[in-house]
Amino acid sequence: MAAVQATTSSSDPFAAISAATKRSSKGSAPTAEDPQDRFLKLLVTQLKNQDPLNPMDNAQMTSQLAQMSTVSGIEKLNTTLNSLVDSVGSSQSMQAAEMIGNRVLVSGSQLSLTKGAAYGGINLTAAADQVKLSILDAAGQVIQTQELGARDAGVFNFVWDGMNDAGSQMADGIYRFSVDAKQGGNKVAADPLQIGTVSALVRSKNGFLLDLGALGTVDFKNVQQIL
C-alpha cells in the first residue's frame, strides 16, 4: 500500500495560521474572520490527508478547535475594549471641557495672590489640635504665619489676605505655603492643596491636563475638589 504524505500542518494547523497571520500583518490587515476561515481549510485538508494508520484523535481536534475559539473570543474582546476606551475618552473630554472657568482644588503648595487675596487648602490625615500655616516668598523666606487652631481630619480651605507679619501688603504674584499639624504633640500628616481657575485644556498622551494659568498644568485625575 502506498504511503500517505502528510501535510506540514498535520501536527498543529493552528501554528500555521499564527505564522500566516504574522506575515499578513506586515501587509494589509486581515479581517476578524480570516483566521477562522484559514483554520477550517487547514483542518479539512489535514483530515483528508491524515495517515489512516495514525489519524488525529478526538482530543487533539477538540484542543485545536478550542484554540480557534479562544482566538476569536480574544478578537471580540479587543474590539469591545477599544470601543470602551473610546467611549471613556469621549466622556472625559466632555467632563474636562465643562470645568473651564471653574476653580479646582489640586495637590500643590502654590498660592496665587490676586487683589489682596490668595486661597489654598489643607488635607489632614487625622484630627489635629494645632495647625500652623506658614506663607513663603519666592526666596523661601517665611513672611507670615497663622495659627489655624484645632481641625478635624479631612480637607478644609483657607484664605490669605496678602499681609506679611509686619503688617505690609505683599505684591500680587505666586507664593508658597507649608503646614505643620500636631495632635497631642505628635506630628499629623498634612498635604497642601492649591486652588486655581481652569483656563484651558491641554491634551497629553495620558489624557487631559488642566491649565491653571500661573499655577501651571495639572492632570485631570488629580483634581481633589471642584469649588
The reply to whether 147 and 79 lie within a common domain is no
What is the model's pTM? 0.55
Q: Looking at the predicted structure, is the pLDDT value of residue 5 above 50?
A: no
The reply to whether 193 and 215 lie within a common domain is yes
Per residue in 138-153, pLDDT (tens digit) is 999 999 999 999 999 9
Q: Whose CA is closest to 192, among 224, 145, 152?
A: 224
Domain count, the chain: 2
pLDDT greater at residue 200 or residue 127: 127
Per residue in 153-190, pLDDT (tens digit) is 999 999 999 999 999 999 999 999 999 999 999 999 99
Q: Whose CA is closest to 114, among 39, 211, 212, 186?
A: 212
pLDDT greater at residue 212 or residue 67: 212
The reply to whether 184 and 142 lie within a common domain is yes
The reply to whether 107 and 197 lie within a common domain is yes
Cell 476606551 sits on residue = 85
Boundary (domain end) residue, out of 98, 131, 157: 98
Q: How many CB atoms lie within 10 A of CB 218?
A: 20
Boundary (domain end) residue, out of 98, 129, 146: 98
Separation CA 73–CA 208 (nearest Å): 32
